[in-house]
Amino acid sequence: IRMGQTWFPAYYAFLHSPSLTTEAHVAMLKSFRDHALYLMEPAHFRTGGNWAAMEAYGLFRIGVMLPEFKDAALWRDTALARLRGEMDAQVYPDGAQVELTPGYHHVSLGNFLWAADVARENDVPIPADYMARLEPMFDYYARLWMPHGQAPALNDSGWHPAVRVLQDGLKHFPGRDDFRFLVSGGKEGAPPTYTSCFFPYAGWAVMRTGWTKADKYLLFDVGPFGAGHQHEDKLHIILHAFGKTILTEPGNYSYDRSAWRAYVLSTRGHNTVMVDGQEQHRRAMRDTFLAKSALPNRWLTRADFDFAEGTYADGYGPKNDRTVTHRRQVLFVKPD
């Protein structure tokens, strides 16, 4: 991770300083090589999450920025193949990264994008479809967009600044007038051609009356548990109306072992149902983590209403008691 982020800026900041001795310089170059050798080992590369994108980008950056190493081209090409492979391994066809958090989605997107920037600046060719695969990852933020310009704090994500992500998206996809409309507050571009939408793999039903700050918004989560950073919150609802978030999402709090951390992970911390004091318990069931195909949930969107239905049948409590099934239906009447 440090190869993709902190080490190269530090290296170039010190490179021409008289304080950087030959011994220190050689030690730093050796460390770059050691990192590359470690990252090249297949046993050290675990696919399918944001760490894979960060580590592949770090290896790519070493291979591109330090061509003096005899294996630099191999490092670069291996990393680029991994980056392109991760787009398929960790991004659903609906554009959502498999950890199902806007924050970690952006981690993967950022590393994919930085690699493309480094490649362009150093005349390194990238796969023909590389950038095209990133556009749905930007579109994800337009589809999740809340009236206050943020993406919801789903799972271990904070309230993510969708407006800033789409500003970056416009630099790479200047023809996206819907991105321009959203980031300009409706002053430029054109609104998206839809209002409400459904992510058929991530399982988010996003219902809205329009695209202004005054519009109403509801997100209904009927999806899989997620590949990482999960909360026990299936059939959870987020509601924003009259300029305020009325039914909220607790976000990630902090990665510690506090009572508050336990709360934000829990069913009781979300707008869904507990049964006899027992919470959802998907964490013990790895087959609930990923969507293997498009979800079969009922979803309708019309000019005057949206409708979605979801079911939780994966058990409550530490023993995953499955004698109870929770089915929730949401009817979102528009424009009121």
Instruction: Name all contacts of 163-171 with Cβ < 8 Å and 24+ positions apart.
Output: 165/106, 165/109, 165/138, 165/141, 166/138, 166/141, 166/142, 168/113, 168/138, 169/135, 169/138, 169/141
Question: What pLDDT does residue 182 have?
Answer: 98
Question: What pLDDT does residue 64 have?
Answer: 97
Tokens of 25: 């310089």
pTM of the model: 0.94
Region 35-44: mean pLDDT is 95
Alpha helices in the chain (DSSP H): 7-14, 22-40, 50-65, 72-90, 102-121, 130-144, 162-172, 177-183, 259-265
Instruction: Name all contacts of 122-127 with Cβ < 8 Å and 24+ positions apart.
Output: 122/64, 122/65, 124/64, 124/76, 124/80, 126/80, 126/84, 127/80, 127/84
pLDDT greater than 90 at residue 5: no
Question: What pLDDT does residue 159 have?
Answer: 86
pLDDT tens-digit readout, 59-90: 999 999 999 999 999 999 999 999 999 999 99
pLDDT greater than 90 at residue 336: no
pLDDT greater than 90 at residue 17: yes
Pairwise CA distance, residues 143 & 102, whole Å: 12
Question: What pLDDT does residue 1 have?
Answer: 80
Confidence band for 193, pLDDT divided at 50, 70 and 90: very high
Question: What pLDDT does residue 176 have?
Answer: 98
What average pLDDT does the chain have? 96
Q: What percent of the chain has pLDDT over 90?
A: 96
pLDDT greater than 90 at residue 4: no
Region 302-327: mean pLDDT is 97
